[in-house]
Amino acid sequence: MDLERLLEKSQKRQWKVGDLDWSQKPRDLSPEDEMTIVQCFTDMAGIERLAGALFEAQRRSAEDPTIKELFRTFVVDEVRHAHAAQMLADHYDRRKLKHYSVNPSLRRFAPAFIGALEHFSPSVANAYTTGGEIMLDIALLRSINDFVDDGMSTDVMRLINQDESRHVAMDFHMVEYYCSDAWAEKAEALPAKTPAEEVQAWSAITKMMYFAQPFFQDVFFRPMQLVDPSGKRMQEAFKRMQLLSKKEEVARTPLARLMTSARELYKNPIARKTLGPVLTRLVGLDASAMDDLFTETEARSVQGKTFDELAQETLALKYQSSSASRGRAAA
């Protein structure tokens, strides 16, 4: 990846929420759809703020000045996305049917996650960023936009998509870096934690994991049941994450080994029956993401692909229209 070129794009393609035409009249919505849409955009604003915190953590740990500046622009992007999402929530809140606030599971998870970031290796922070961006970009935002099916949302999402494409490309680049020998040498040179620091770290990580599954369930999986009942897009996102973890360089990292081991154990009927809730809580995912969503042929094919090619394949998914959205548009 040409990081200088990516930085130039990130700097040139900044946009302002106020430049959009917010005078557009929303399409007619049922009371139920209005409440669903406003809540989705309210939660989206919270998710984007959390994404900004993740990029800020990576900015602080970055040593390369170009990478550090790229992450700074990404933080600016996410602040703008949060602002735009809240503006969309206000835009579609026509009837003032209820008071909307960020989902409680997101409110509990966010500070626990940010606290845990202080104890994570930068590679772990990058892994969570990559997984979150794939679910957000490939599944949630696309499906919300199709569900809304309105010009104002489309205008905003088009601009957010431009930013998110750069983010995902950078995510994959950093995954490759954290799998490299250069990073392994740096990681080995890091000072060991004291016993007190280890206790503090595990306490923060345990707290984060406790709140992770309710967060993903309430903010990602449950809304997706409404805006993409087929579940196709979330499965596409999970599949891309699973295939990335099958790439040889990624598969040997500690976090990938942990996630793979949990999923392999979950496949055992006895383990699933006795430890299923513990395992899904550990990885923070829905049970539907615990089974393999790829074929052996697909798993073998990722070995011969570059990380940039895998990123482009992932990004291509968000431009595929679902049959559901086509049917809605036709109606």
17 located within any domain: no
Residues of the chain with confidence (pLDDT) below 50: 322-331
The answer as to whether 159 is a domain residue is yes
In a domain, 123, yes or no: yes
- Residue 154 belongs to domain with CATH number: 1.10.620
Of 7, 244, 45, nearest to 126 (Cα)? 244
| 229 in any annotated domain | yes
Cα(146)–Cα(64) distance, integer angstroms: 39
> Is there a domain that residue 323 lies in?
no
What is the number of structural domains in the chain?
1
At 127, is the secondary structure helix, strand, or coil? helix
28 burial (CB, 10 Å; 0-12 / 13-18 / 19+) is exposed
pLDDT at position 128 is 87
Is 312 among the domain residues?
Answer: yes
Q: Which two tokens stand for residue 207?
A: 């707290």
Q: Does residue 330 lie in a domain region? A: no
Q: pLDDT of 84-120, one tens digit each?
A: 999 999 999 999 999 999 999 999 999 999 988 888 8
Q: In the prediction, which pLDDT does 97 show?
A: 97
- 224 found inside a domain: yes
Tell me which residue range forms the domain holding 204. Answer: 29-181+194-318
DSSP per position, 36-76: HHHHHHHHHHHHHHHHHHHHHHHHHH--SHHHHHHHHHHHH
Q: What is the pTM for the complete model shown?
A: 0.90
Residues 290/279, Cβ–Cβ less than 8 Å: yes
